[in-house]
């Protein structure tokens, strides 16, 4: 899940992780941020774990993750890599396919070229239609279908 600050990325990650874990999958999360890692109650990584993430990897500018090999190395270093899904929050400039979380002031003309869908908190009639599917956050089952269908091996 990528997007600008305040666009609902962490909330969407929580919902997706909770649904996948509730279906019996083992899920890890990766949080990319320009800010320092926060472990205190209420931080994004804390929220990931509360949603059911088996573990959370935090990366900043000092930990490169520009390829699948980098992600595989991070997973192996963290917990042996034994998960069904790795849900990534952030990394908006990465080469990985992404679901773009649309904030109130986001311009759809600036979507990264590797965006496979947009998720919005707005009413659907308030969103101009890009060339990718647009989901409302209330359509969690459709978002989960997309995540499961488009997941790639690391």
Question: Residue 99 maps to which CATH number?
Answer: 3.40.50.300
CA distance readout (Å), 48 to 25, 30, 94: 15, 9, 21
Residue 53 lies in a domain: yes
Q: What is the pLDDT of residue 154?
A: 61
Q: What is the pLDDT of residue 127?
A: 61
Is the pLDDT assigned to residue 77 strictly greater than 90? no
Question: According to DSSP H, which parts of 2-96 are helical?
Answer: 9-22, 44-51, 68-79
Instruction: Say which range, 32-36, 119-123, 140-144, has the weakest mean pLDDT.
Output: 32-36
Residue 2 lies in a domain: no
Q: What is the pLDDT of residue 71?
A: 66
Residue 59 lies in a domain: yes
pTM: 0.82
Residue 3 lies in a domain: no
Q: What is the pLDDT of residue 56?
A: 85
Q: How many domains does the chain have?
A: 1
- CB–CB of 126/104 below 8 Å? no
- CB–CB of 31/56 below 8 Å? yes
Q: How confident is the model at residue 82 (pLDDT cuts 50, 70, 90)?
A: confident
Report, as an integer, the average pLDDT of 67-89: 71
Report, as an integer, the average pLDDT of 62-66: 60
Q: How deeply is 48 buried, as exposed, middle or buried, from its count of CB atoms within 10 A (0-12, 13-18, 19+)?
A: buried
Domain that holds residue 51: 9-150
Q: Sign of the CA dihedral 45, 154, 90, 37?
A: positive
Q: How confident is the model at residue 81 (pLDDT cuts 50, 70, 90)?
A: low
Q: What is the pLDDT of residue 25?
A: 94
Report, as an integer, the average pLDDT of 119-129: 68
Q: How confident is the model at residue 20 (pLDDT cuts 50, 70, 90)?
A: very high
């Amino acid at each position: 899940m990528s997007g600008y600050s305040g666009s609902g990325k962490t909330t969407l990650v929580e919902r997706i992780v909770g649904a996948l874990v509730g279906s019996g999958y083992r899920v890890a999360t990766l949080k990319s941020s320009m800010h320092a890692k926060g472990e205190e109650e209420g931080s994004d990584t804390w929220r990931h774990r509360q949603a059911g993430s088996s573990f959370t990897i935090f990366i900043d500018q000092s930990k490169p993750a520009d390829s699948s090999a980098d992600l595989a190395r991070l997973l192996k270093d963290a917990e042996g890599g034994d998960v069904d899904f790795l849900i990534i929050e952030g990394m908006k400039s990465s080469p990985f396919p992404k679901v773009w979380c649309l904030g109130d002031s986001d311009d759809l003309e600036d979507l990264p070229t590797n965006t496979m869908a947009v998720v919005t908190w707005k009413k659907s009639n308030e969103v101009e239609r890009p060339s990718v599917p647009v989901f409302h956050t209330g359509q969690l089952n459709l978002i989960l279908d997309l995540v499961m269908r488009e997941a790639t091996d690391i």
